[in-house]
Amino acid sequence: MLYAVVMSSAVPPFPPSPEPFDAPQLLEVGALPEGPCLRADAARNRARLLDAAARLIAEHGVAGVTMEAVAAAAQVGKGTVFRRFGDRTGLLMALLDHSARQLQADFLGGPPPLGPGAPPLERLRAFGVAVLYRSDERLDLHLAAQTEPTRRFSHPAHEALRTHVRMLLRQIVPDADCELLSQTLLASLDPALIHYHTRQCGLPMERLEAGWIDLVARVTGTSPLR
């Protein structure tokens, strides 16, 4: 690995933000809002459904996760699953909730260089490497859970990542359009692109990691990592 990092998976111009550094908040990736907190029985039912879905993935892969199969495995009515998660994409996104929240916790408060305490350039490098490897660990689930474009880029999970990258860019290249630049950088970490590079083209993860480090250097006008 080229960079040491702790591992645990036609738009108009954006107006400049009045805040210099807008630190992201820890966001939940689950599908449907449940209010400030779930009742104890509702929380248990949600955990039971997610456990059933995780078992189906382990046994049959992501293709085996349907609303009907999860309902049968959890021994509940299909309507219960739809009420809890909305649709299959919502269910799959909820399955990604734990790893997404762990990544957010790591870059918001974990050890450097991913977490606070390292220079912003080092944190940006470490961020991309972490996203690459964690996405690769659960790539099939990431691909199956991707929402359509109208929902995808406004989803809380994407918003949290974009806000973090934008914050780091503002510290490294304050004169750049960091809003658009953050989207450009995140596009290179898209799970579908990782799948294409690794599964279809056979590229090793080490090459994608080196590509991220090089891209960060070129975008920020800094020296590449030696």
Residue type for position 34: E
User: Sign (positive/negative) of CA torsion 94, 96, 99, 101?
Assistant: negative
pLDDT of residue 226: 64
- d(C-alpha 81, C-alpha 91), whole Å: 8
Contact by Cβ (8 Å): 24, 156: no
Taking 70 as the pLDDT cut, the residues of the chain under it are 1-38, 98, 147-148, 225-226
pLDDT of residue 38: 54
Q: What is the dihedral of CA 10, 15, 17, 20, to 10 degrees?
A: 90
- The domains located in the chain, with CATH, are 40-94 (1.10.10.60), 97-220 (1.10.357.10)
pLDDT of residue 31: 40
